[in-house]
Amino acid sequence: MATEQFAMATALLGAALAAFMAGIGSAVGIGIAGRAATGVLSEKPERYGQLFLQVVLPGTQGFYGFVIAFFAMNTMRGFESLSMGDGLSIGVACLPVAFAGMLSAIHQGKTCAGGILLTAKRPEMAVKAGVLYAAMVEVYAVLGFLISLLMLLGIGPAQAA
């Protein structure tokens, strides 16, 4: 009984880390980009539309973490009781999106802040440089999401038998 509870706790911890770490990274990234945007908007409020995407872009990692946490909890429901191996597998499967999401969101916020400052001086470069450079950072969040998703999709009661 204690082993099953530890296995469940390990799986839930992985799901929580996916949601919390990616969410924290998104909050920090949006904060960084938002600070840069408010500075620009104080002088050039007409740039709001150009800056909006660059401010919200680091928020996507939080959604990736949430989706993986949801999949992890749904995977747990497929088991009558979790073995230690199953609990560890679910917990570990959540780690790629947790770490990739947190770190990429923070760095994406910094990249977006640079793009925002560029957009203030050269508005025609908003998409060419500002958004595209930030999207390059997003690729690593997507890879973390996909690895976590594929790992979770490979875990199930049929594999445990």
Question: Quick one: pLDDT band at residue 54, thresholds 50, 70, 90?
Answer: very high
159 in any annotated domain: no
35 in any annotated domain: yes
161 in any annotated domain: no
Domain that holds residue 99: 2-153
Tens digits of per-residue pLDDT, 133-151?
999 999 999 999 999 999 9
- CA 117/CA 5 separation, integer angstroms: 51
70 in any annotated domain: yes
pLDDT at position 112 over 90: yes
Structural tokens at position 97: 């999106």
122 in any annotated domain: yes
- 131 Cβ contact partners less than 8 Å away, ≥ 6 residues apart: 53, 54, 57, 115
Number of domains in the chain: 1
Q: Which residue has the tokens 């949601």?
A: 19
- 81: DSSP letter: S
Tens digits of per-residue pLDDT, 14-49?
999 999 999 999 999 999 999 999 999 999 999 898
- 91 Cβ contact partners less than 8 Å away, ≥ 6 residues apart: 10, 11, 13, 14, 15
16 in any annotated domain: yes
Residue 50 has a pLDDT of 86
Please give the average per-residue pLDDT across 61-67, as a whole number: 98
158 in any annotated domain: no
CATH code, domain carrying 108: 1.20.120.610
- CA 37/CA 140 separation, integer angstroms: 24
- 27 Cβ contact partners less than 8 Å away, ≥ 6 residues apart: 62
Supply the pTM of this predicted model.
0.90
pLDDT at position 158 over 60: no
pLDDT at position 160 over 80: no
Please give the average per-residue pLDDT across 75-83, as a whole number: 87
38 in any annotated domain: yes
Instruction: For residue 60, give the nearest of 126, 144, 121, 130 by alpha carbon.
Output: 144
